Amino acid sequence: MITSNRILPVDQESSIFLKTAEKGTKNMKEESERMTTIKGIFCNFTAALTSNPSEEKKFRTPRERRIMNDELRKMPSLSGFRSNHLMVNRERVMNYLPQLRRCSHLDNIARVHAIEMAEEGKILKHLSSKTLLRLQENGYPKALVVMNAGRSSSILDAQNKFMNSKISRSNILDPKLKRIGFGCENDEKGRVYSCQMFTSLQDRLILI
């Protein structure tokens, strides 16, 4: 794992790890003081360049392959139904990982970020201070929150670009993550700005 103070652009995409204080809200101020400040936002940016355990295991038993194929057959078809949540979960199933649960609160945050990107006409490599504050104040003292952001011609194109990016792919296939949110917005030129958000929290999030 490599830690950096900045995000390296990867094919018009960026992947962000936002790690909040690990000692609870009582020590939030102390923890924030040692975090990297970027445009007034306290956050740690971490690029997960190590491979995931699911991708390290090359050999699969016939039983494992049968279970994976059975689970794929039970999932809705992508033809005519461009759900990014489904696209992500199909990738995880094909890599022998559990599916992520959709979180409407993360959907809302991802949607807001996508709108901000479309309005500014560029990839934003960090959340706004207001959005980040919502994450920090509502149950994230021990949670890992990961964000992929990109610009593309469609939702399917966005997913393909994420999977072709080493960091974004590692985020999507991270076995520690449990929940997913997705948002997108078109700019005036018809380009699609997409934002995927993931968290390690399993319980329902309460965001205001």
Dist. CA 46–CA 49, nearest whole Å: 9
Of 42 and 200, more confident? 200
Work out the average pLDDT over 130-155: 79
**What is the mean predicted confidence (pLDDT) over 79-99?**
91
Measured CA to CA, the distance from residue 154 to residue 67 in angstroms comes to: 31
φ and ψ of 147, to 5 deg: -130, 130
| Position 25 pLDDT exceeds 50 | no
Q: pTM, whole model, 2 decimals?
A: 0.72
Percent of the chain with pLDDT over 90: 50
Say which amino acid occupies 197: M
pLDDT confidence bin for 144, thresholds 50/70/90: confident
For the segment 49-68, what is each residue's pLDDT rounded down to a tens digit?
345 655 566 778 999 999 99
Residue 172, φ and ψ in degrees, nearest 5: -60, -35
Alpha helices in the chain (DSSP H): 28-33, 53-56, 62-74, 84-94, 104-120, 129-137, 155-164, 166-172
Q: Report whether pLDDT(72) > 80.
A: yes
CA neighbor of 183 nearest in space, from 124, 130, 107? 107
For residue 1, name the pLDDT band (cuts at 50, 70, 90): very low
Instruction: Look at residue 151 in the predicted model and tell me its pLDDT.
Output: 97
pLDDT value for 201: 81
Residue 57 pLDDT: 66
CA-based end-to-end distance of the chain: 33
Q: Which residues pair with 208 in a beta bridge?
A: none
Residue range 149-160: average pLDDT? 95
pLDDT given at position 138: 59
Distance CA 71, CA 195 (A): 26
Query: What pLDDT was estimated at residue 53?
Result: 57
CA dist 5 and 37 (Å) reads: 9
- Least confident range of 23-27, 81-85, 109-113: 23-27
